[in-house]
Structure 1
Amino acid sequence: MPAPKNVLLIVVDQWRGLMLPKLGADYLKLPNLDRLCAEGVTFRNHFTQAVPCGPARASLLTGQYLMNHRAVQNTIPLSSRFTNLAHELRRGGYDPALVGYTTTTPDPRHTAPNDPRFFVLGDIMEGFHSVGAFENRDAYFGWVASQGFEMPKTREDIWLPKGAPGAGATGRPAVIPKELSDTAWFTERGLDYLRGRGGKPWFLHLGYYRPHPPFIAPEPYNSMYRPEDMPKPVRAASPAEEGRQNALLDYYVRNVKQASFFQDGKDLGSDMSEAEVAQMRATYCGLMSEIDDHLGRVFDYLKETGQWDDTLIVFTCDHGEQGGDHYLLGKIGYFDESYRIPMIIRDPRAQADSTRGSIVDRFTETVDTMPTILEWMGLPVPRQCDGRSLLPFCEGEVPADWRTEVHYEFDFRDLHYSKPESALGVPMDRCSLAVVQDEKFKYVHFAALPPLLFDLAKDPGQFINCAADPAYAATVGEYARKMLDWRLGFAERTLTGYRATPQGLEVRAA
């Protein structure tokens, strides 16, 4: 009998793409991800299609650009007319299990308005079988209480630093011990699921909340890194100077608050000193090392049970984190820090032996994830998918006509926790930007604001907008055309391959 085909899709949250030792971040202690990189392929220029969580995960799990799935922000519904990775796996006979979350709001045309999923930031995407849901956090907090831990009146206070209340970035550990952290809980739920499979083939979306804020780590991860060893922030001389680049950037510089990132945080993110940014980054790295330790437990289990060489392992993320660069916190705007994400693929097949430990520099995108998994499992890739399989890279080949640029988008309409639309006076349906970026230039097109152009060779930090410089007029026109070509070539096409003929229904794949 053929060996079972298993897939472990690891999706972390808010992990910057270049923060892997394999890609030069040698200050990080990630031995288990190093192990995965050594046995797989690491993609240096891998980008998400959108931020924040909901839009990014919609692109990851439907294989579509934001302009097609249109779940443009957290809390915005995802249309039920689209298939997704889970539905396609079910067609292939798999019961796709999910630990974590997808931040998906259901289609209101097919869901009652009083459905509890409309009262939260997002819920589980249709088709997945949840074996460790984190959407409302009830299961996690219930588990913590069941372990004998005395829960505070406000349950989120377990993420406060020990001792007196904090006020922003801190090296003090969280109240919760490492054995009861959310990272530990996700790992336990994933291992429980794997232990129960009894040799049957499986697909597991193993999600982790970290290194998502609040930026507070349990012992010993809170002190694993020294602030003085952290890279310096990439930012202008002052928040005011940074904000002069663009009205949207200025809004975020003046409005993103630390309280969204630190328990008891005060003031604006842009008010953080270099020392505070360094401490925040040290804690952020500690949360990464905590995940790495727990991934080691999962990897060891697969090896001990003889499943390591039957399992495709994909390690990726929803989006990045500004981390103080450009005076910003979170995942917003148009800078690389928010959009470049990690991607590591360990293909256990013999065909991938020649590429183990290699790095791919070609541009790849999160929409490539779904086609990669489906192709590896021998399942058809739906026409709705805008991405392409990355398996040829694992086999040492560069697919013909591979993309030479990446595209990503951001929608900044008003939500209950952020109001840039109102502040800028931009109509809701014009609160959008789209980026085309290659090795030379980055062009940012706004529906209702002036465009941006960055000469990446001269200005890798993206401080100087060349869009209005006459010397770059031809380049602006060229990249605007690239943007238009992309939109025309990838317009939503789920049904455009079907046609009626005198002989009946005809289907064309491309």
Structure 2
Amino acid sequence: MRQRRNVLLIVVDQWRADFLPQLGASFLRTPNLDRLCREGVTFRNHVTTTVPCGPARASLLTGLYLMNHRAVQNTVPLDARHMNLGKALRRIGYDPALIGYTTTTPDPRTTGPRDPRFTYLGDLMDGFRSVGAFEPTMDGYFGWLAHQGYTLPERREDIWLPAGEDAVPGATDRPCRIPAELSDTAYFTDRAVTYLKGVGDKPWFLHLGYYRPHPPFIAPAPYNRMYHPAEMPGPVRAPRWQDEARQHPLLEFYLQGIGQGSFFHGAGGAVTALDEASVRLMRATYAGLMSEIDDNLGRVLDYLDETGQWEDTMVVFTSDHGEQLGDHWLLGKIGYFDESFRIPLVVKDAGCTVRAGAVESAFTESVDLMPTILEALGGTIPRAVDGASLLPLLQGGPPAGWRDALHYEYDFRDIFYSQPETKLGLHMDESSLCVIQDARFKYVHFAALPPLFFDLERDPHQFTNLAESPAHAGLVKEYAQRALSWRLRHAERTLTAFRATPQGLEDRGTPA
């Protein structure tokens, strides 16, 4: 029997893949993450299978595609019947601890309509034990601040406003009003070290979530000026946002409707009003928030070193989704562009150094993490899981039959902060898209809107839609068929391997 081990699953929020030094972001200073990359495997072609937070975390923790778990948007409930990593770990004797959040709305059939969890964006997923609460309204963090002696303003979120009475809302290099030692990043780290000191000699699993570099894009000192805007890569976008809007109706909706207020507290105006200097300034702050996370992660990794647990601990670093960061004139995690879906993944397996420092180019997806962790700890991967264990890639390379493309989905139905469904004249069950993307081509299929097709070799940033090009008609058909085959292969299959026989129940999904 495999020796019991520990797992540290680090899930940051809104960290896009190209802001990783190992993948080319040489301007970013993250020594602790660099160490993890040296001792583990970095995955070059890794995506979240859906956005935004709630759906992405549902896929990460259940191993299911959006089309199967159906928690299709923030505030949409997650069906209680689904197995998730927390529940699965309990079955093999682990007590899965969680710091941070999962943005999960409960199944209404398991409770009543007056349950206060239905008044929030999301709450904690069943199966996990919170040891550092943030959801549903950040009460755990704000309570911690008060306990530290910090006087909270009347509107608690004002701690993230830029310092100074003359500060103007928007992209800024001014620090936020909360000091770094009391930031939400420091809070999560404090909770993590406290948990690790209390868990004793028992094998443990810890989901360590960080809120950053999620907006508001305002960093505490000294991280607010750690990077200069000139160090940052400029935005990838057409000369005018109107040029991009012509590509597709959904893109036009977002370009016309996204305001700066969701990203900078108190700011007005459209995101498309941000000039390049403002985008670079915002990116410098974004990078500063990343370095703040890295410095705090150092405290956690140092504790594992000091207590001799580093070698016995699998460490996974990833994000729930990416961030447009001004590319294509967008902010946030929306639509179909790579910036929203490509995310970092670094895995250091416990006691396995055969591929230390490697950069793996195989196509991997967020649904792979649940089966990877479960298999590493000796559990059985549920048949319904859509992902595949990454252990073979950590120990050698992709096995025969590994996926030949990336797949991801997005459901853009109306929710309380965005109404594309109404604007575009769609039914909510028509408001969705799916993507199949390999090294050469990317196909985007919409339930009730025109498709998109890109030649990634000639147009890596996806400015030119070739879906209606007669010269590409055969390829569009081929990729549409591949997308349909993918959906058919991954249709819900919890019980489809069972059958009744004269000898009784037979499970054809269990190896002979």
Give yes or no for TM over 0.5.
yes
Give me the whole-angstrom Cα distance separating, in 2, the residues matched to 1:336 and 1:274: 20
Native 8 Å contact 1:497 1:509 kept in 2: yes
- Name the residue aligned to 1:245: 247
Moved more, 146-155 or 213-222: 146-155
Instruction: Give CA deviations for 1:141-181 in whole Å, capped at 9, x if unaligned.
Output: 01111111111110000000000242210000000000000
Shift of 1:2: 7.7
Preserved contact between residue 355 and residue 395 of structure 1 (Cα < 8 Å): yes
Residue 141 of structure 1: aligned partner: 142
Q: CA deviation at 1:497?
A: 1.3
Q: Give, in whole Å, the separation in 1 of the partners of 2:243 and 2:193.
A: 49
User: Would you say the 8 A contact 1:52–1:74 is kept in 2?
Assistant: yes
* In structure 1, distance between residues paired with 2:263 and 2:331: 8
TM-superposed deviation, 1:3: 5.3
Contact 2:213 2:289 in 1 (8 A): yes
Q: Report the CA distance between 1:392 and its aligned residue.
A: 0.8
TM-score under structure 1 length normalisation? 0.98
Secondary structure at the residue paired with 2:90? Answer: helix
* Counterpart in the other structure of 1:306: 308
Deviation string 1:258-302 (CA, Å, 9 cap, x unpaired) is 000011112111110000000000000000000000111100000
Partner-residue secondary structure (3-state), 1:426: coil
Counterpart for residue 235 of structure 1: 237
- Using the TM superposition, give the Cα deviation of residue 199 of structure 1 relative to its aligned residue in structure 2, in angstroms: 1.1
C-alpha contact (below 8 Å) 2:162/2:169 kept by paired residues: no
Q: Specify the SS of the correspondent of 1:454.
A: strand
Whole-Å separation in 2 of the counterparts to 1:312 and 1:335: 31
**SS of the counterpart of 1:234?**
coil
Q: Distance in 2 between matches of 1:177 and 1:235?
A: 35
Distance in 1 (alpha carbons) for counterparts of 2:192 and 2:501: 49
What SS does structure 1 have at the residue aligned with 2:346? strand
CA apart distance, 1:120: 0.3
Counterpart of 1:96, as a letter, is P
Question: 2:199 matched to 1:197?
Answer: yes
TM-score, L = length of structure 2: 0.98
User: 1:235 aligns to what SS in structure 2?
Assistant: coil
Deviations 1:161-204, CA, capped at 9 Å, x for gaps: 00024221000000000000000000011111110011111000
Alignment-derived partner of residue 433 in structure 1: 433
The question of whether the paired residues in 1 share the 8 Å contact of 2:4 and 2:377 is answered with no
* Matched residue type, 2:325: G
Cα distance in structure 1, aligned partners of 2:434 and 2:2: 45
The aligned counterpart of 2:79 is 79
What is the identity, as a one-letter code, of the residue corresponding to 2:116?
A: P
Q: Is the 8 A contact 1:161 1:174 kept in 2?
A: yes
2:223 maps to 1:221? yes
Paired position in structure 2 for 1:14? 14
1:344 aligns with 2:346: yes
Residue pairs, 1:213-362, within 5 angstroms: 213-349=215-351, 352-362=352-362
The answer to whether the 8 Å contact 1:227/1:278 transfers is: yes
Q: Are residues 335 and 13 of structure 1, via their aligned partners in 2, closer, same or farther at CA, if it must alter by over 3 Å? A: same
Find the aligned partners of 1:334 and 1:2 in 2 and give their Cα distance. 41
Q: Which amino acid aligns with 1:265?
A: A
**Partner amino acid for 1:80?**
A
SS at 2:311 equivalent: helix
CA distance in 2, matches of 1:287, 1:479: 39
Q: What amino acid does structure 1 have at the position aligned with 2:240? A: S
Query: Is contact 2:5–2:313 with CA below 8 Å preserved after alignment?
Result: yes
Measured in 1, the distance between the counterparts of 2:138 and 2:487 equals: 38
Report the secondary structure of 1:14's partner residue. coil
Q: 1:168·1:265 contact (CA, 8 Å) conserved in 2?
A: yes
1:159 aligns with 2:160: yes
The secondary structure found in structure 1 opposite 2:22 is: helix
Report the Cα distance in structure 2 between the residues aligned to 1:291 and 1:508, rounded to whole angstroms.
Answer: 46
* Aligned equivalents of 1:288, 1:507: Cα separation in 2: 47
Is 2:393 the partner of 1:415? no
Q: Residue 43 of structure 1 aligns to a residue in which SS?
A: strand
C-alpha distance in 2, partners of 1:62/1:200? 25
Structural mapping, 1:41-56, within 5 Å: 41-56=41-56
Taking the aligned partners of 2:18 and 2:361, their CA distance within structure 1 comes to: 12
Match of residue 174, structure 2, among 149, 172, 175: 172
Q: Distance in 2 between matches of 1:319 and 1:126?
A: 21
CA RMSD of aligned residues (A): 1.0
Q: CA deviation at 1:214?
A: 0.4
Aligned counterparts of 1:9 and 1:152: Cα–Cα separation in 2: 33
Per-residue displacement from partner, 1:421-445 (whole Å, max 9, x unpaired)?
1111111110000000000100000
Matched, 1:424 2:424: yes
Query: In 1, distance between residues paired with 2:230 and 2:28?
Result: 13
Query: Which structure 1 segments of 5+ residues have no match?
Result: none
Equivalent position amino acid for 1:10 in 2: I
Contact 1:3/1:310, CA 8 A, preserved across alignment? no
Matched-pair contact (CA < 8 Å) for 2:20–2:28: yes
Contact 1:18 1:44 in 2 (8 A): no
Partner SS, residue 483 of structure 1: helix
Give secondary structure in 2 for the equivalent of 1:355: coil
One-letter amino acid of the counterpart of residue 42, structure 1: T
How far has the Cα of 1:397 moved from its partner?
Answer: 2.7
Who is 1:442 aligned against? 442
- Checking the alignment, whether the CA contact within 8 Å between 1:8 and 1:204 is kept in structure 2 is yes
Number of residue pairs matched by the alignment: 508
Where 2:294 maps in the other structure, the secondary structure is helix
How many angstroms does 1:18 deviate by? 2.0
Q: Which residue of 1 aligns with 2:452?
A: 452
C-alpha distance in structure 2 between counterparts of 1:353 and 1:126, whole Å:
34
Partner of 1:28: 28
> Does 2:399 align with 1:399?
yes
Structure 2: segments with no counterpart, 5+ residues: none
Separation in 1, partners of 2:414, 2:2: 52
Aligned residues of 1:165 and 1:264 also touching (Cα < 8 A):
no
User: What's the counterpart of residue 108 of structure 2?
Assistant: 108
